[in-house]
């Protein structure tokens, strides 16, 4: 059976890569036809290569969706999550770094309450691992930790420790725990400060680890909750509606060499301790020093040592919170960019599986793709100038050969590129209509409306994110270290002056792009408006997309299944946070909330 699954994974990988090459080849063929209207020259060859490489990357994202659609049965019957007997001890690790203690500890209290209700509180210990370097915040952490201990009861052990030096950032924080306390635990559930998990999900993760001794790491698919803004709600809808399909596709391609996203995962402590000692890269940051995107490196090291790394999309009840505006998203993305580009040095490490090396290439390409698109745009504007006056007499004779305007090919190119982006999402809507999944999202009509709105908003914001990613890549190659800034997990709307300060250079770039196009390549102005137009309007779009899209007690825009049937652990956390912040009548720290049966919250994704 394992051999058959391995063969199927290999077949899917080969077919997916061939699909990407085919799409790149088709786009390159269309581009040759379009660019050869006035003769092919060296600048056209550069444009064709850039366009083909960028298209291959878009096709790889579509391949995830197609594999997910093909490997997901329309009707899934899940057995209820079982509270199976186990002798395993599990530590739930919550690394924090200058976070709001009230917010973070309300998450911990909610998860402890969920475990209490389940009757599994004694199986899990919680460890809050502080890297906070702000003494004021640290004092608040200690005060709220004492309250957390008092109000959460004695069944679950809760620990707190603060490192004086946050060497190695989050990876170093986890490594320090393993060195000092790891021998006490069979498993570790690694969370972020904004993570939430149902107690039944934690218990099921332990059960699956017990059932497969070779399983070194089991990753869940966290859904975004508590998004308020238009931007945040669009992300929340995406993780709830599209991501289960994309993640199934990812799982079908990666097989036993799966991903680790750094949080909302369970790890076999012994396997991690034996396999995942991270080196400090030689030289100075950004390419040297501590590895920032450590999670994928740790997954690769586990695979190298023969451990299974797997993502199970059916593990519901796993949540996180995301940025509510473009500016905060770009700040986080800057750190990810630097960490992913560091993978260029890690991918040549000895003994890694070929697929792990290929995953590192994907991680690098996730950020290099933006500069490739930018270079393609620059090359297209420069092409008419560099090519000069067309040769109307390419062959001796009396009759000239005039350039053809191949607008049909240009439109086909545009449709093809956009088709790779939006086609999979529309297929997910169709599948949801046939399988009944859309009913949990307000019906097919509402799911389609939300999908089209998300596509439109993504299309408007994509040129802005392209510029942020281009700047991040340039900064890394210039040797500028972005570090690991603290995260403001409750950042609200962005005022217009703040948006202008954060994106004026994007507006300037858009204006310069359009000015150069008018001057040197007027035939491309219409197409470039799709990119440069949103860039010119960047401050306004950033400001508007940060507006609140919901009112208290309403699902609002981008309704998800969790809006219609909120998870008990989410309701519990909201009640605790409201009580702690004094916005509600006095209530127990673990208020009574209707708990579900021990089964996945979403049986069909």
Over residues 296-355, the pLDDT tens digits come to 999 999 999 999 999 999 999 999 999 999 999 999 999 999 999 999 999 999 999 999
What is the distance between the alpha carbons of residues 120 and 116, in angstroms, rounded to a whole number? 6
For the chain, give the longest Cα–Cα distance. 97
Q: With DSSP H G I counted as helix, E B as strand and the rest as coil, what are the percentages for the chain, rounded to 5?
A: 60, 10, 30
What is the distance between the alpha carbons of residues 169 and 585, in angstroms, rounded to a whole number? 39
Whether the Cβ atoms of residue 407 and residue 18 lie closer than 8 Å to each other: no
Please tell me the pTM assigned to this model: 0.90
What is the distance between the alpha carbons of residues 540 and 525, in angstroms, rounded to a whole number? 22
Least confident of 25-29, 35-39, 172-176: 35-39
- Give the model's confidence band at 117: pLDDT under 50 very low, under 70 low, under 90 confident, else very high: very high
* Confidence at residue 190, expressed as pLDDT on a 0 to 100 scale: 98
Taking alpha carbons only, the member of 94, 114, 93, 112 closest to residue 104 is 94
pLDDT at 411 over 80: no
* Confidence at residue 162, expressed as pLDDT on a 0 to 100 scale: 95
* Confidence at residue 565, expressed as pLDDT on a 0 to 100 scale: 87
Q: What is the dihedral sign for C-alpha 195, 197, 203, 208?
A: negative
What is the distance between the alpha carbons of residues 9 and 178, in angstroms, rounded to a whole number? 33
Fold of 90-223+242-314+351-366: Spore Coat Polysaccharide Biosynthesis Protein SpsA; Chain A (3.90.550)
pLDDT at 412 over 80: no
Share of the chain above pLDDT 90, in %: 71
Over residues 496-510, the pLDDT tens digits come to 999 999 999 999 999
* Confidence at residue 605, expressed as pLDDT on a 0 to 100 scale: 36
The bridge status of strand 196-197 relative to strand 318-320 is: antiparallel
* Confidence at residue 462, expressed as pLDDT on a 0 to 100 scale: 95
Length of the chain: 605
* Confidence at residue 595, expressed as pLDDT on a 0 to 100 scale: 40
- Give the model's confidence band at 39: pLDDT under 50 very low, under 70 low, under 90 confident, else very high: low
Highest mean pLDDT among 162-176, 434-448, 498-512, 590-604: 498-512
- Give the model's confidence band at 596: pLDDT under 50 very low, under 70 low, under 90 confident, else very high: very low
Share of the chain above pLDDT 70, in %: 87
Higher pLDDT, 396 or 571: 571
To which residue do tokens 């199986």 refer?
123
Average of pLDDT values for 452-481? 96
The bridge status of strand 90-96 relative to strand 187-190 is: parallel
- Give the model's confidence band at 591: pLDDT under 50 very low, under 70 low, under 90 confident, else very high: very low
Over residues 541-571, the pLDDT tens digits come to 999 999 987 654 455 679 898 888 899 999 9
Backbone angles phi, psi at 215, to 5 degrees: -75, 110
Over residues 516-528, the pLDDT tens digits come to 999 988 888 888 9
How far apart, in Å, do the first and last CA atoms of the chain sit? 25
Least confident of 68-82, 218-232, 424-438, 524-538: 68-82
Burial class (CB in 10 A: 0-12, 13-18, 19+), 596: middle
Higher pLDDT, 592 or 28: 28
* Confidence at residue 582, expressed as pLDDT on a 0 to 100 scale: 86
Backbone angles phi, psi at 500, to 5 degrees: -65, -45
Q: What is the mean pLDDT of the chain?
A: 88
pLDDT at 238 over 90: yes
Both tokens assigned to 450:
């939300």
């Amino acid at each position: 059976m394992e051999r058959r699954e391995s063969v199927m994974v290999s077949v899917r990988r080969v077919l997916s890569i061939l699909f990407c090459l085919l799409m790149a080849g088709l786009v390159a063929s269309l581009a040759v036809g379009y660019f050869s209207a006035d003769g092919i020259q060296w600048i056209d060859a550069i444009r064709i290569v850039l366009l083909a490489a960028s298209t291959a990357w878009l096709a790889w994202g579509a391949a995830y969706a197609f594999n997910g659609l093909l490997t997901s049965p329309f009707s899934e019957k899940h057995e209820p999550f079982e509270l199976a007997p186990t002798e395993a001890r599990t530590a739930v690790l919550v690394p924090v770094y200058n976070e709001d203690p009230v917010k973070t500890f309300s998450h911990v209290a909610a998860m402890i309450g969920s475990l209490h209700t389940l009757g599994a509180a004694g199986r899990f210990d919680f460890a809050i691992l502080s890297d906070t370097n702000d003494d004021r915040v640290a004092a608040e952490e200690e005060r709220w930790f004492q309250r957390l201990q008092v109000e959460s009861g004695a069944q679950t052990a809760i620990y707190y420790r603060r490192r004086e030096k946050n060497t190695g950032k989050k990876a170093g924080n986890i490594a320090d725990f393993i060195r000092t306390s790891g021998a006490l635990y069979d498993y570790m559930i690694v969370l972020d400060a904004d993570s939430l998990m149902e107690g039944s999900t934690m218990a099921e993760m332990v059960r699956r680890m017990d059932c497969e001794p070779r399983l070194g790491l089991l990753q869940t698919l966290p859904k975004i909750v508590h998004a308020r803004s238009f931007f945040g709600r669009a992300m929340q809808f995406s993780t709830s509606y599209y991501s289960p399909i994309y993640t199934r596709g990812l799982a079908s391609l990666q097989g036993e060499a799966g991903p680790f996203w750094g949080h909302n995962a369970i790890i076999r402590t012994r396997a991690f301790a034996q396999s995942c000692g991270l080196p400090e890269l030689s030289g100075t940051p950004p390419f040297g020093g501590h590895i920032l995107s450590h999670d994928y490196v740790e997954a690769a090291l586990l695979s190298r040592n023969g451990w299974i790394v797997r993502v199970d999309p059916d593990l519901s009840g796993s949540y996180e919170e995301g940025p509510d505006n473009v500016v905060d998203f770009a700040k986080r993305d800057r750190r990810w960019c630097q960490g992913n580009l560091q993978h260029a040095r890690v991918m040549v490490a000895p003994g890694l599986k070929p697929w792990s090396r290929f995953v590192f290439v994907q991680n690098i390409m996730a950020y290099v793709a933006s500069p490739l698109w930018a270079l393609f745009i620059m090359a297209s504007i420069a092409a008419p100038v560099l090519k000069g006056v067309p040769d109307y007499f390419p062959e001796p004779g009396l009759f000239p050969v005039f350039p053809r305007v191949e607008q049909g090919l240009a439109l086909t190119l545009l449709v093809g590129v956009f088709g790779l982006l939006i086609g999979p999402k529309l297929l997910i809507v169709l599948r949801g209509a046939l399988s009944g999944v859309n009913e949990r999202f307000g019906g097919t009509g509402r799911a389609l409306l939300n999908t089209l709105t998300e596509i439109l908003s993504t299309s408007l914001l994509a040129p802005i994110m392209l510029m942020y990613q281009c700047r991040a890549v340039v900064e890394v190659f210039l040797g500028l270290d972005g570090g690991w800034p603290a995260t403001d997990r409750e950042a609200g709307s962005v005022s217009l002056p703040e948006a202008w300060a954060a994106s004026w250079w994007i507006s300037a770039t858009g204006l310069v792009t359009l000015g150069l196009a008018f001057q040197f390549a007027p035939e491309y102005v219409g197409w470039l408006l799709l990119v440069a137009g949103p860039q010119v309007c960047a401050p306004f779009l950033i400001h508007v997309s940060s507006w609140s899209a919901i009112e208290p007690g309403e699902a609002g825009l981008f309704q998800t299944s969790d809006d219609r049937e909120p998870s008990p652990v989410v309701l519990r956390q909201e009640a605790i946070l409201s009580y702690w912040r004094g916005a509600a009548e006095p209530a127990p720290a673990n208020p009574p909330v209707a708990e579900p049966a021990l089964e996945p919250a979403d049986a069909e994704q």
